[in-house]
């Protein structure tokens, strides 16, 4: 059974957040947490917190299941564009240049390998082959 976690209006540009999301897409939760812990990008901190929230949501949905035996992995990570704050910066000769302060919405889905026909070891060997 899958669990979902959302994070709205993160004050990071979607392009920078997608770079971090691509690092952990399809990985096991333990491996993804260690990758995010040592990634220097600013979005990694918020994505790590979101991943922990998704794991907690999964535990709330499955109170009788053990987290270690579930073999959780990140099923999907979607980074969408959020609202944009528009500001003006003074420029030479009385002009103004527009500054767009971007934000994003992140949706993360966690699922367990036990619910599917494929095992985590098969997915991991396929990742190494690619």
> Which is more confident, 46 or 113?
46
Residue 45 pLDDT exceeds 60: yes
**14-30 confidence digits (pLDDT tens):** 999 999 999 999 999 99
DSSP string computed for 21-36? HHHHTT-BHHHHHHHH
95 three-state secondary structure: coil
Tell me the percentage of the chain whose pLDDT exceeds 90.
78
Q: What percent of the chain has pLDDT over 70?
A: 88
What domain range includes position 112?
2-128
- CATH number, domain with residue 10: 3.90.470.10
What pLDDT digit, counting tens, does each position of 77-88 carry?
A: 999 999 999 999
Q: Using an 8 Å Cβ cutoff, are 91 and 107 in contact?
A: no
Can you give the pLDDT at residue 43?
94
Helix (H) or strand (E) holding 121: helix 120-129
> Model-level pTM greater than 0.75?
yes
Q: Tell me the two tokens of residue 64.
A: 């009788």
Q: Is 89 helix (H, G, I), strand (E, B) or coil?
A: strand
The DSSP call for residue 62 is -
Q: How many domains does the chain have?
A: 1
Report the pLDDT averaged over residues 97-115: 92
């Amino acid at each position: 059974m899958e669990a979902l976690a959302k994070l709205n209006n993160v004050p990071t540009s979607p392009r920078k957040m997608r770079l971090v999301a691509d690092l952990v897409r399809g990985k096991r939760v333990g491996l993804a947490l260690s990758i995010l812990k040592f990634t220097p990008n600013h979005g990694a901190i918020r994505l790590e917190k979101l991943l922990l929230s998704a794991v907690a949501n999964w535990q709330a949905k499955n109170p009788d299941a053990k987290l270690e035996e579930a073999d959780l992995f990140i099923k999907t990570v979607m980074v969408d564009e959020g609202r944009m704050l528009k500001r003006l910066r003074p420029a030479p000769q009385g002009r103004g240049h527009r500054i767009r302060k971007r934000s994003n919405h992140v949706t993360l889905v966690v699922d367990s390998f036990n619910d599917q026909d494929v095992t985590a070891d098969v997915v991991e060997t396929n990742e190494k082959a690619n």
